[in-house]
Amino acid sequence: MKLTKCVIRQFGSLRNKSFDFGDGITLISGKNESGKSTLHTAITALLFGMEKGKGRAAASGVYRANLPWSEPDLYGGFVTWTRGEVKVTADRDFSRTPPQSRLIVEEPARVRQISPEEVPFPDGLSPYVFTNTLSFRQIGAATGDGLAADLQNHVMNLRSSGDERLNVRAAADSLKARRKALERRIDTAAEAEDASLDLTLRDLERRTLSEGGDYDRLKAEADARDARIRELTAERERTDRDLRQKEALLTNMGTTSREAIEDDLRRTGVLCEQMEIYERDYTGGRIGSGVLNVLSLVTVLVLLFSIFFLNRIIQSGTGLWPLIPLFAAALLAATFFVRLTRQADANAADEKNRQILTGMLSRYLPDYEAQGTLKEAGEMKVYLEKVVQLFDYLAEKRRVFEQDTEELVSLSASREAMNEALNEQLVRKVRREQWELELREAMARKEALKPVLKENERLRNEIAAIARAGAVLTVLAEDASANFGAPLTREASAIFSEITGGAYDGLEVSDSLELFALSAGRKIAPGALSAGAMEQLYFSFRLAVVRCLWPHEEMPLFFDDSFAMYDSERLDACLRWLHENYRGQVFLFTCQDREKKTLDRLGIPYDSFEL
């Protein structure tokens, strides 16, 4: 099994990180709190998935500890590994409830998506086995029996007592009793109720969907229609009152015909123009009619005398000089006569206009004492223009009144049909809401059953695991030494002797899986060793367990600050052994530069990432 790629979208302090892994040793370094252990945890979670947990477990669990503070919807990532020609990608989204997984297998002949149960892990690999065999976290300063018992738990996933001894037969009997106790805790009534609720939910969902309707839309339309009817009714009443008032005003004014008003407006306009001309051209030199007649008679007499004398002078032949004054006097008299004639005509026309204006004013404004002046003509024109505007206003109001009446009649006619449809939709809505209420109650009950069903699932998974473990323990109990103990002892002894530089002859694994270091024919218990030697003992034993569990497949190893207690000599030995003897991937997580310096000094090739 070889890890090839890991992409972190969001996981703890890690964000938008991508790692491409090669063969051999990979060094992942960084300061404390830089995310090394977080990456280690993320790889485990992406490989096997991760549950949110509930209650106190949720508050202190791995899920909550690595939940991102920002953009929690990106919580997750993917990891890719290969086994021979098969490539597997596990993409996990931990932001969903429950977390979602997309698992893809690429085989030489096809690419397919698989379920979690179909993931092609090496035989016997589970989250617990991975975490406690392939994953080497720092054990710390623990010594003696407690440390030995902890290591035995990591290797066999069993612990029957608090010391370093492991009784396989007793463990098998304990598993059987545990299985019976778990079977009694399964709530079969809850499972039956859940199945019944599934049928109820499907039926309610079918009925709810079939009873769809448009009550809300129709109700909104009906409310809008009624509001429009009220608005139109009020508008028609206001318009009707306005029309009556304006029509009464026109009647009182004696102006019921628009055409007559427009004709008088045109005549008034002409009168204004003529009176303005008269005021401009003739008002300054106005002469009374009596005086005008006398002046006209005198002018005619002067003109006649001038003609008579001109004729006598011409006949006498006395010369043309006397004719000049007479000719001038005649011309002046003729001009003055024409002027007097025009003045007379203008006076007559102005008088007629004044009479017409006075008559119009008397007709429209009977109580007004008209003088027939130009100012009154202008005021009359403005008055008639306003009357024409009033006729226009009334015409527009009548048009709006008729339009509102038509719309009101149409809306009133559709009210009955719409109300019938609305009542029908109301019945359907009430029925649908009742079913939706039942649906929510059923869903709430089903949701309430989830913890029980989840517990049932957990119990069954634990029972299945116990059954598998029991079968393995049965085989181990029959011949632990021949089938597992001897090969394990040989493998672990060879590793221990090599990494200690021959300081120890090897180690011994008893039938009950007790560990002893061998030196000069003596068996030395772990508690009697130095801290460094004891950790080398456990290191050798766990590597031997990995090789015995997967003898035909190279598995990746993860060392998370596992060499913190090693001195330089022991660190050299362990890293040299991993480089020369282990063909699988080795991931070193460290907050120090000891491992890097050691690898460089020993000339061991490695890839590196710094967080």
Over 80: is that where the pLDDT of 301 sits?
A: no
506: left (phi > 0), else alpha (psi -120 to 50), else beta? left
d(CA 411, CA 573): 97
What is the spatial distance between Cα 401 and Cα 264, in angstroms, rounded to a whole number?
29
Higher pLDDT: 525 or 368? It is: 525
Which pLDDT score, from 0 to 100, does residue 295 have? 57
Phi, psi of 138 (to 5 degrees): -65, 125
29: pLDDT strictly greater than 80: yes
Specify the pLDDT at position 320: 52
Nearest to 273 by CA among 353, 363, 365: 353
Question: Does residue 162 carry a pLDDT above 50?
Answer: no
d(CA 466, CA 174): 10
CA atoms of 537 and 524, how far apart (whole Å): 11
Identify the band that residue 416 occupies on the pLDDT scale cut at 50, 70 and 90. confident
Q: Is the peptide bond before 98 cis (omega within 30 degrees of 0)?
A: yes
In the predicted model, what is the mean pLDDT of residues 567-580? 93
Q: Which pLDDT belongs to residue 322?
A: 56
Residues whose CB is less than 8 angstroms from the CB of residue 132 and which lie 6 or more positions away in sequence, other chains included: 153, 154, 155, 157
What is the average pLDDT value for the chain, to the nearest integer?
80
pTM of the model: 0.49
Beta partners for residue 81, in sequence order? 3, 88
Of 468 and 110, the one with more pLDDT: 110
Residue 278 DSSP SS3: helix
Is the pLDDT higher at 477 or at 121? 121
Which pLDDT does position 159 carry in this prediction?
A: 32
Share of the chain above pLDDT 70, in %: 79
Q: pLDDT for 105-160, tens place per residue?
A: 999 999 999 998 899 999 878 887 787 688 887 643 333 343 333 334 434 443 33
Tokens of 110: 């096809």
**pLDDT band at residue 171 under the 50/70/90 scheme:** low
Q: Using CB atoms within 10 A of its CB, is residue 19 exposed (0-12), middle (13-18) or buried (19+)?
A: buried
Task: Show the tokens assigned to 335.
Answer: 């001009």
Report pLDDT digits (tens) over 173-206: 677 888 888 888 899 898 899 899 888 888 878 8
Which of 182-186, 361-365, 464-468, 473-477 bottoms out in mean pLDDT, i.e. has the lowest? 473-477
pLDDT at residue 148, as a whole number: 37
**Mode of pairing for the β-strands spanning 586-590 and 506-509:** unpaired
| Predicted confidence (pLDDT) per residue in 211-236, tens digit | 666 777 778 888 888 888 888 888 88
Average pLDDT over residues 345-374: 79
Q: How confident is the model at residue 339 (pLDDT cuts 50, 70, 90)?
A: low
**Of the listed ranges 57-66, 315-324, 413-422, the one predicted with least confidence:** 315-324
Q: Which of 76-90, 350-364, 388-402, 418-432 has the highest mean pLDDT?
A: 76-90
Q: Edge-to-edge strands of the sheet including 76-83?
A: 14-20, 2-11, 76-83, 86-93, 100-106, 111-114
Local confidence band at 315 (pLDDT 50, 70, 90 cut-offs): low
Q: What is the pLDDT of residue 105?
A: 96
pLDDT tens string 400-410: 888 888 888 88
**Predicted confidence (pLDDT) at residue 581 exceeds the cutoff of 90:** yes
pLDDT tens profile 498-548: 999 888 988 987 756 678 899 888 999 888 888 888 888 888 888 888 888
Average pLDDT over residues 355-374: 78
Average pLDDT over residues 455-459: 89
Q: Could you identify the residue written with the tokens 């549950």?
A: 51
Query: pLDDT over 90 for what percent of the chain?
Result: 24
